Structure 1
Amino acid sequence: MTASRVLVTGATGFVGEAVVFRMLLDKVYAPVAAVRGETRLSGLCDVVPFDLSESVALPELAQIDAVIHCAARVHVMNESAADPLTKFRQMNVQGTARLARKAAESGVRRFVFISSIKVNGEATLPGMAFRADDQPAPADPYGVSKCEAEEVLREIGRETGMEIVIIRPPLVYGPGVKANFLSMMSWLCTGLPLPLGALKNQRSLVAIANLVDLIVTCIAHPAAANQTFLVSDGDDLSTTQLLRRMAVALGKPAFLLPVPQVVLRSAARVVGKSEVAHKLCGSLQVDIEKTRELLQWSPPVNVDKALKVTAAHYLNR
């Protein structure tokens, strides 16, 4: 029996590449990696050129059963574009719509869109975790573009009958993670003290293995059709707890000074790092009960195991 062919866009990215490797390992689906530029996936599976802009022709989709759309113009801390929202819309909304319309015209059965928890908002209050069916409240250009892309996809789904599945992950970590999570590991390895020992916030994270497991589940699960899901490890942590557990995974001591949150926020404002302080001190929790119940899905990897795998990759890189 021939395996169903699944196109994965953004297959050189952190999430997209992990999805392709998972499918190659499982051998249930035949991945087609849609990439921009060179990729180490060449020779392992079919590879086709793909770009969210209109400068590159879309790949042939006639023999594709499902699309997993990971490619995006991603959120950046130091935005350089004069009009960020227009840039995000060009790639994340118009580019996504262009791909989805061709997918529907080509007879693709299901379109799985990797969105962002930023569609829900930037922060949660205690006991008020985001839910999949909450009213969207994006607060930055990236979140707005993802929200608008979701709306366009739902409309295309209604018009064509192509099944749309939307997944909104929070911060994703795992082997090869970059940005703030990488910086956190680097700092812990220096052994220098951090003023983050008294934080009681709660943040939901998702290990790459757990996110990929949900994505693969959503390729064919009948209950996933035309649904929106949130995903996490199911074990929310304060910044202080995360640092301590990451230090254990790294085999390093965690020197965390109990500096009050109000002092941290004030100092961050003075040096122009309020957004960093918000991420370190604020809460962002997601409720994955809908995902658990509708799909009978649970995160297969617990936090400490995921942190240990992430730390091992970092130490051996």
Structure 2
Amino acid sequence: MSTPLIALTGATGFIGRHLLNELPRRGYRVRVLLRRPDQVPEGASSAVIGDIASPQNMAAALRDVDMVIHSAGLAHAMSGQPENDYRTINTEATIKLAQAAERAGVKRFIFLSSIRAQSGPVAKGVLTEEMEPQPTDAYGRSKLEAERGLSQLGLDWAALRPVLVYGPGVKGNMAALLALSQSPWPLPLGGLKGKRSLLSLDNLTAALDILLKAPGPLRRAFIAADPEPVTVPEIVAAFRKGFGRGPGLIPVPSFMLGAAASLTGKAEAYERLSGSLVASPEALRRLGWQPVNSTRDGLAELARQAAAEQSGA
């Protein structure tokens, strides 16, 4: 059999860059679909399709492609009208790309959705795909609508709903927590009890590999999460282990932290930090997915890499 050819969108993003490096190591050829001409790593071809919302040259871009991984999307609204922004990029553009893939004879379309298609930023109990999706914001609704649009097409598809993904180059709250953990000072976070499911980039790649290889048809969503959820104190302790120091955590009562967050206008950020969101990857495991690393080991390694980069700067 010839080496499968994967068309990849979003190759300049946090997840896409990692996939661009890792997929060839797993035995795939990669064709990157780009908005504009750009240099890509050796071993990957490219095709310029322009704006993902109104792509061009799709027949040529998808010629001979076996499967598509669509990781491009909008994480933050730009126009002040988030429902419209998210629907245009995350929903409508996804369906248009999938329709082009169907016309080109692509065997499977894999959509990088989000756990936010399933739930809000916090949730009670353990999330599974069998639960009725209850997204709470425009971003989550746009991802769920894209999944439902895919279900109306004739091609085989799978939607991966990852929880918060971490790895080299991570941004947002995880990057802030990483920087905070690098400080030498004790942190008043030891009393936080909420558990969070996380997902390492390596475990995400392994999940996509399973979806690419699984016998079809799939035509469903899969939650992707490291098997063991962790608390914020456990995240900090893992980071600080990677930085070569002890946890340095003070168990300040959570109600005091919540009150301080409210006074400083950080109540929403605190809710996300202190609340729980646990998701089960059992459906992926039934396909044969096995995590490459544990959450604690992955977080410690991320900190070691961050420290090594800083020392080499």
Fold conserved between structures, TM > 0.5: yes
Q: TM-score, normalised by structure 2?
A: 0.92
Is 1:279 aligned to residue 292 of structure 2? no
Is the 1:93–1:149 contact (alpha carbons within 8 Å) kept by the matching residues of 2?
yes
Q: Which residue of 2 aligns with 1:41?
A: 40
Q: In structure 2, which of residues 163, 176, 179 is the aligned counterpart of residue 183 of structure 1? A: 176
Is the 1:88–1:141 contact (alpha carbons within 8 Å) kept by the matching residues of 2?
yes
Q: In structure 2, which of residues 107, 112, 130 is the aligned counterpart of residue 133 of structure 1? A: 130
| Partner amino acid, structure 2, of 1:91 | I
Rounded to whole Å, the distance in 2 between the matches of 1:223 and 1:277 is: 42
Change (3 A) 1:104 1:68: same
Q: TM-score, normalised by structure 1?
A: 0.91
Q: Percent identity?
A: 30
Is the 2:199–2:224 contact (alpha carbons within 8 Å) kept by the matching residues of 1?
yes
Rounded to whole Å, the distance in 1 between the matches of 2:36 and 2:55 is: 14
Is 1:301 aligned to residue 299 of structure 2? no
Corresponding residue SS for 2:151: helix
Is 1:155 aligned to residue 138 of structure 2? no
Is 1:16 aligned to residue 16 of structure 2? yes
Shift of 1:223: 5.2
Rounded to whole Å, the distance in 2 between the matches of 1:49 and 1:271 is: 46
Shift of 1:167: 0.7
Q: Which runs of 5+ in 1 are unaligned?
A: none
| Partner amino acid, structure 1, of 2:9 | T
Change (3 A) 1:55 1:4: closer
Q: Which residue of 1 aligns with 2:4?
A: 4
Rounded to whole Å, the distance in 2 between the matches of 1:94 and 1:80 is: 17
Q: In structure 2, which of residues 72, 89, 103 is the aligned counterpart of residue 91 of structure 1? A: 89
Rounded to whole Å, the distance in 2 between the matches of 1:38 and 1:175 is: 25
Rounded to whole Å, the distance in 1 between the matches of 2:39 and 2:200 is: 22
Shift of 1:141: 0.9
Q: Which residue of 2 aligns with 1:316?
A: 308
Q: Which moved more, 1:48-57 or 1:296-305?
A: 48-57
Corresponding residue SS for 1:172: strand
Rounded to whole Å, the distance in 2 between the matches of 1:275 and 1:188 is: 21
Shift of 1:57: 4.7
Q: Which runs of 5+ in 2 are unaligned?
A: none
Q: In structure 2, which of residues 193, 198, 209 is the aligned counterpart of residue 200 of structure 1? A: 193
Change (3 A) 1:271 1:228: same
Corresponding residue SS for 2:142: helix
Q: Deviations over 1:234-274 (max 9, x none)?
A: 01101111111111112133332212112222221222212
Query: Structure 2 matches for 1:98-137, cutoff 5 A?
Result: 98-122=96-120, 123-125=122-124, 128-137=125-134
Rounded to whole Å, the distance in 2 between the matches of 1:225 and 1:302 is: 27
Q: Deviations over 1:40-68 (max 9, x none)?
A: 63433102224322165546212111000
Is the 1:175–1:309 contact (alpha carbons within 8 Å) kept by the matching residues of 2?
no
Is the 1:133–1:228 contact (alpha carbons within 8 Å) kept by the matching residues of 2?
no
Q: Deviations over 1:131-172 (max 9, x none)?
A: 01211101011111101111111112xxx2x10101100000
Q: Which residue of 1 aligns with 2:256?
A: 263
Rounded to whole Å, the distance in 1 between the matches of 2:163 and 2:187 is: 24
Change (3 A) 1:62 1:37: closer
CA RMSD after TM alignment? 1.8
Shift of 1:91: 0.5
Is the 1:168–1:229 contact (alpha carbons within 8 Å) kept by the matching residues of 2?
yes
Change (3 A) 1:182 1:73: same
Q: Which residue of 2 aligns with 1:174?
A: 167
Corresponding residue SS for 1:155: coil
Q: How many residues align?
A: 306
Corresponding residue SS for 2:17: helix
Is the 1:195–1:259 contact (alpha carbons within 8 Å) kept by the matching residues of 2?
yes
Q: Which residue of 2 aligns with 1:233?
A: 226
Corresponding residue SS for 1:218: helix
| Partner amino acid, structure 2, of 1:63 | D
Q: Which residue of 2 aligns with 1:145?
A: 142
Q: Which residue of 2 aligns with 1:67?
A: 68
Rounded to whole Å, the distance in 2 between the matches of 1:39 and 1:314 is: 27
Shift of 1:80: 5.1
Corresponding residue SS for 1:212: helix
Is 1:247 aligned to residue 240 of structure 2? yes
Shift of 1:220: 2.4
Is the 1:191–1:254 contact (alpha carbons within 8 Å) kept by the matching residues of 2?
no
Shift of 1:115: 0.4
Rounded to whole Å, the distance in 2 between the matches of 1:82 and 1:57 is: 31
Rounded to whole Å, the distance in 1 between the matches of 2:64 and 2:301 is: 36
